[in-house]
Amino acid sequence: SSARVAVDAALLDALPRARIVAHFGVGYDNVDAAHAKARGMVVTNTPDVLTDCVADLAIALMVDVARGVTAGDRYVRAGRWLKGAMPLAAKVSGKRLGIVGLGRIGRAVARRAEAFDMEIRYHNRRQAPDSPYAWEKSLADLARWCDFLVVATSGGAESRGLVSAAVIEALGPKGFLVNIARGSVVDEPALVAALAERRIAGAALDVFADEPRVPEALLALENVVLTPHIASATTDTRAAMGQLVLDNLAAFFETGRALTPV
């Protein structure tokens, strides 16, 4: 399976002989894992092999939206440079980074951000005992504190709308939001309104609530960077993900145990 296909209870029940759902991706919120397990099925995903590429894109999007990289490209191509200099941008190095979800990907983002001398804090449901970074129990407080808020938490019912209108408001007019998690985690209408009204400085989004459809209002905004869910989309990573799917299937049918069950 993949993120483009909903593996719901109806589909699972239509496959009475199926024993395993081998998912191509780390997030499996499109799979009814609880129903699968109730039927005695194993669900697997592809963790670790995509961590680096997803974290790389998070940093790239953060730099892009703050420094105006793709905005600058549009500026030059439209001939606007001939009429005057582009407006000044925001600095990244030395700023405050808040990470929503300090899992594998969140930690990889943090490691990269250290090279930018950023001060790092995070929000999880529970404090990570082995983390060198400060934990913020309140996501709104984290948003209020940081300059950049990177969303790296898993999708699903528990995180739906986690980055609410109140959290977006707390980020403030100088704050930037980067989402490389799931579109469902962010209140998309509230984000669109905040961007349009300049109540936050900008956003960089690789994921959306109803992919591949993107709100027309987002497409019209200059203070947002949009990419088509490409965080893991490199040849190396997609090959590794595909191999892990095959390895999970082989291990399950040979030994009865998958390599990366969820």
pLDDT tens digits along 180-192: 999 999 999 999 9
Active site annotation includes 136: no
* pLDDT at position 1: 60
- pTM, two decimals, is 0.93
Active site annotation includes 198: no
* Confidence at 6, pLDDT banded by 50, 70, 90: confident
Q: Which of 23, 112, 121, 182 is catalytic?
A: 182
* pLDDT at position 5: 74
Checking if the pLDDT of 117 tops 80, the result is yes
Q: Which of 39, 96, 144, 229 is catalytic?
A: 229
Active site annotation includes 211: yes
pLDDT tens digits along 31-60: 999 999 999 999 999 999 999 999 999 999
Using the CB atoms, write b or e for 183-216: b if 16+ within 10 Å: bbbbbbebbbebbeeebbbbbbbbbbbeeeebee
Checking if the pLDDT of 81 tops 70, the result is yes
- Mean pLDDT over 227-237 rounds to 97
Which H/E stretch holds residue 253?
A: helix 235-255
Q: Which of 4, 80, 111, 211 is catalytic?
A: 211
Domains defined along the chain, listed by start: 9-49+233-255 (3.40.50.720), 51-226 (3.40.50.720)
* Confidence at 4, pLDDT banded by 50, 70, 90: low
CA distance 43 to 9: 13
